[in-house]
Structure 1
Amino acid sequence: MQVEIWSDVVCPWCAIGKRRFEAALERFAHRDEVTVRWRSFELDPGAPQERGGTLVEHLAAKYGTAPEQALGMIRQMSDTAAADGWEFDLEHARGGNTVDAHRLIHLGAEHGIQDAVKERLLRAYVAEREPIGDHAALTRLAVEAGLDEAEVRDVLAGDRFLDEVRADERQAHAYGISGVPFFVVDAKYGVSGAQPADALLQVLETAWAEAHPLQVLTPAGESCADGSCAV
């Protein structure tokens, strides 16, 4: 079974959704047969490499609300995240363009450590005040996740994996994905948003049952049916 997850590293709900999916997967009986692939989605493709100002100011301007209300939104989200094991520090988050972060996540996939790279970059943004578009920060974080420093620098110096990022984004458009996180199971079942672990587990079980129908290997024998038996 393959699960593809479209998300962005500056998306707090994506971090929450990751934890909820992990909780669902832990309870899934066939978890060892599930392949997870992280797909690229840029919430703000036109963002500068490093955004000035605070997230509170950015949200207040984006939604036309008072800074106090924006701060309340952030704190409410942080409380939600805490229930799923995160310690957010969004008041001091340092946003920016995420295309290079996505390219490094694809590099992680090439080396079999995509989830570790995704986790490290998510945590850097939502909890550690790291400038998510800065190449020096990205290099250090990617190395901490297990990637080779020289290769990371080479990727960031060019446009390697840019085609893969754009392909993910085209597929998201084809699926009609407009918000993240978005989970796609076996290219058939789509789940939008950071759904509870129980809901995600149900989707996994449904997809598995459909892909592995029960095979009856012997002819039908005598049995009881319709709530009655002749005795």
Structure 2
Amino acid sequence: MKVEIWSEIACPWCGLGSHRLDRAVERFEHSGHVEVVHRSFPLGSGLPEDRTLSVREFVLAKYGVIPGQAGVPDVEGMAASEGLAPYRVLDNRVGNTDLAHEFLAHASAEGKNGEAWSMIFRAYFGKAESIFTLDDLLGLADEIGLDRDQTRQVLADRRYRRQVQEDAHQAQQLGATGAPFTVIDGRYAVAGAQDTDTLLGILRQVWDETHPTVLDADNDAAICGPDGCAVPADHAAHA
């Protein structure tokens, strides 16, 4: 079963949604047969590339609300209640994430998709570290064993820019209007950071629909396989 999740790195709901998906897969009875693939859905392409803004400043300017006031969801509190702490949102900074998404595409091409996405969420929300500059990303490359010089060249060439754009376009074609956006086995699209129980229920539903249960009511029933046809023991005895 393939589970694809589209995310924006600096989106607090995406970090929480990724955590919830991980917990759902851990609890899923067939977790060993689940492949989770992270894909990019950049939402901050319009932000300046040469500077960052405080989250409080950004949210106030864009939505006209003050983070933490009544009526504004407490994402940090939700994360803490689900074992994801520290989870720093309000005191973090936000900026253009295009280069970070290209870094993740490069890491994925090197076989480190899940490892790289988990690391960058942990760095950004867990430690409130910057993930916006080339030097920031080269430091992360060192953490997961990517070749620093190769990574530097890939990012300087913007080699994965088109792939990141294609990832976002694919999500939009599937019906995504925001992130996170999850598609399970190509059959169910799930918008938003759904809770772990909901995700677990969908995993089970899709599995049941694509893996029908075989009822073995008669262990001596005749059966044909690649090596020929087996004769039931009682039939062989009377032959």
Which residue pairs with 2:189 in the alignment?
A: 190
Q: CA deviation at 1:87?
A: 0.9
What amino acid sits opposite 2:128 in the alignment?
R
Which residue pairs with 1:46 in the alignment?
A: 46
- Divergent runs of 4+, >6 A: none
What amino acid sits opposite 2:48 in the alignment?
P
Of 179-188 and 75-84, the range deviating more from structure 2: 75-84
1:209-229 deviation line (CA, Å, top 9, x unaligned): 11111245678xxxxxxxxxx
Q: CA deviation at 1:104?
A: 1.6
1:143-171 deviation line (CA, Å, top 9, x unaligned): 21332212211111112122211111111
Of 69-78 and 42-51, the range deviating more from structure 2: 69-78
Distance 2:144 2:46 in 1: 27
Which residue pairs with 2:14 in the alignment?
A: 14
CA contact (8 A) 2:171 2:181 kept: no
Which residue pairs with 1:79 in the alignment?
A: 77
What amino acid sits opposite 1:56 in the alignment?
R
Of 49-58 and 17-26, the range deviating more from structure 2: 49-58
Q: State the Cα RMSD in Å.
A: 2.0
Identity %: 37
Distance 2:54 2:68 in 1: 10
Which is greater in Rg? 2
Distance 2:69 2:35 in 1: 37
What amino acid sits opposite 1:79 in the alignment?
G
Distance 2:53 2:188 in 1: 39
SS at match of 2:53: coil
CA contact (8 A) 1:16 1:86 kept: no
Give the 5 Å matches for 1:53-92. Answer: 53-65=53-65, 69-72=66-69, 76-84=74-82, 85-92=84-91
Which structure shows the higher helix fraction?
A: 1
Distance 1:14 1:36 in 2: 15
Distance 1:179 1:83 in 2: 24
Q: Unaligned stretches of 5+ in structure 1?
A: 220-231
Q: How many residues align?
A: 216
Which residue pairs with 2:234 in the alignment?
A: none
1:176-223 deviation line (CA, Å, top 9, x unaligned): 20111111011110111111111101111111111111245678xxxx
Q: Unaligned stretches of 5+ in structure 2?
A: 219-239
CA contact (8 A) 1:21 1:200 kept: yes
Q: CA deviation at 1:59?
A: 0.5
What amino acid sits opposite 2:67 in the alignment?
A
SS at match of 1:92: coil
Which residue pairs with 2:158 in the alignment?
A: 159
Aligned CA distance change for structure 1 residues 100 and 52 (closer, same or farther; 3 Å) = closer
TM-score (norm 1): 0.86
Q: CA deviation at 1:50?
A: 4.6
Which residue pairs with 2:170 in the alignment?
A: 171
Distance 2:171 2:128 in 1: 28
Which residue pairs with 2:228 in the alignment?
A: none
SS at match of 1:26: helix
Q: CA deviation at 1:90?
A: 2.2
Which residue pairs with 1:115 in the alignment?
A: 114
1:64-106 deviation line (CA, Å, top 9, x unaligned): 23xxx32447882211111122312223322111111111212
Distance 1:108 1:205 in 2: 30
SS at match of 1:184: strand
